[in-house]
Amino acid sequence: MLKLALFNDMTIGIVCYPTFGGSGVIATELGKILASLGHCVHFITYDRPVRLDFFVQNIYYHEVMTPNYPLFQYLPYESALISKIVDVAMHSHLDLVHVHYAIPHASAAVFAKKILKSYQISLPVITTLHGTDITLVGKEETFKPIIKYAIEHSDGVTSVSEFLKKETYTYFEVDKSIEVIPNFVSLVRFRPKPEIRNTYRKLIAPNDEKILIHTSNFRKVKRVQDVIAVYLEVKKQIPSKLLLVGDGPERTHLEKYVRENQLTQWVIFMGKQEKVEDILAISDIFLMPSETESFGLAALEAMACGLPVVASHAGGLPELIVKGFNGFMTEVGDTNQMSKYVIEILNPEKYAYYSENAIKTAQKFDENLIVKSYEKFYSQYIKK
Ligand code: GMT
């Protein structure tokens, strides 16, 4: 699709994690849209980003390789990344580099900027804070000085929610303006899909059971055990199934629990999935009981597919979920109340109201709107 660019074409380096995690997804989708607007985008990461799954004009991918050597107990990834940023900036003439997730990307870019300066090359650094880089990993004393320094020495800093901005000021005491640019979603990819629903729903729910769904990287912070607890309460009253999409450290013991309690017929672990939008399209309600969540991209994607959300009142989730409108929130760990809210939403007389409101909310985070905020933000730092 041809779109009209509002800004002069830029050459942008994007440094991110290439995995299924939210920061990598946002970075990759951002790069793809910027390329479709006529900008030139260079991804710099250790593997092909998972969402960079087809050929796109104006997109280049530079793999960061960390050579091994018997002396290294740990591979010096950050050094390799710094050198790669310098190389790409010099030879591809980057107008700026945009790094996603503070560790180690922000400090690497700030270091690369210094090296480039010695060659009289200017490289503005934009850092986007995503979540656990501030709320969990970032709070490790080991990383605090380097994160604070990298934030203060980035040219521009954005965070994905007001909550995360406040956390950054509170914990790192940085003297830096931070602009909030929220997560975004493709309303073309994530939407209600009656054609998929009519065909595939019966494979999971042959007796028209309700389908509860959770997608994540199965880290402790996601509290996937609460998802199962909520489901077990709901199942006592409503014939239903639970889909668990994704993989990560918590999966093994949860899967063991499900097997040992003879629940495998109802609780289905689907692993990492490429077309999560189709699985959301056959589901009815999304659960996100996280300990903390800076924005909740997975919940936004579910809403765009028409799924109301029941979540914990944590982090930036209240900036997305409006109680009694598109879902509900409870205190972290209150699985009893969460199950009551799920039952309330699944009431056939009320479901359409919550589902339609979920879609309306997602429309405010349309990628075509939010990406313009990034373009505008970049343009302040580019001297042309
Ligand atoms: O921890 C994760 O879920 C992955 C992490 C990441 O940075 O890859 O996700 C964070 O960034 C997403 C994109 O900005 C946000 O939508 C998630 O809420 C955030 N995760 C947490 O804060 C736990």
pLDDT band per the 50, 70, 90 thresholds, residue 266: very high
Q: Which long-range contacts (CB under 8 A, 24 or more apart) does 330-335 make?
A: 332/223, 332/289, 332/290, 332/291, 333/223, 333/226, 333/289, 335/226, 335/229, 335/230, 335/233, 335/289
Pocket test for ligand 1, best of 19, 23, 128, 220 (most atoms within 8 A of CB): 23
C-alpha 130/C-alpha 24 separation (Å) is 10
Window from 65-74, 104-113, 175-184, 356-365 with minimum mean pLDDT? 65-74
pTM for this one?
0.94
**Beta strands at 125-129 and 96-100: parallel, antiparallel or unpaired:** parallel
Q: Measuring from atom 9 of ligand 1, which residue has the nearest CA?
A: 22
Site of tokens 């405010």: 364
Average pLDDT, the chain: 94
Whether 217 lines ligand 1, by a CB cut-off of 6 Å, is yes
Q: How far is the CA of 280 from the centre of ligand 1 (A)?
A: 19
- Do 359 and 304 form a contact (C-beta atoms < 8 A)? yes
| pLDDT given at position 7 | 66
Window from 12-16, 170-174, 265-269 with minimum mean pLDDT? 170-174
Whether 23 lines ligand 1, by a CB cut-off of 6 Å, is yes
Taking only the tens place, the pLDDT of each residue in 324-369 is: 999 999 999 999 999 999 999 999 999 999 999 999 999 999 999 9
Q: How far is the CA of 130 from the centre of ligand 1 (A)?
A: 6
Q: Which atom of ligand 1 is nearest to the CA of 221?
A: 23
Pocket test for ligand 1, best of 17, 130, 288 (most atoms within 8 A of CB): 130
| pLDDT given at position 384 | 55
Structural domains of the chain in order of their starting residue, each with its CATH number: 11-184+366-379 (3.40.50.2000), 194-363 (3.40.50.2000)
pLDDT band per the 50, 70, 90 thresholds, residue 249: very high
Whether 128 lines ligand 1, by a CB cut-off of 6 Å, is no
Task: Say what percent of the chain tops pLDDT 90.
Answer: 86
Task: Read off the pLDDT of each residue in 64-92 and give the average, rounded to a whole number.
Answer: 93
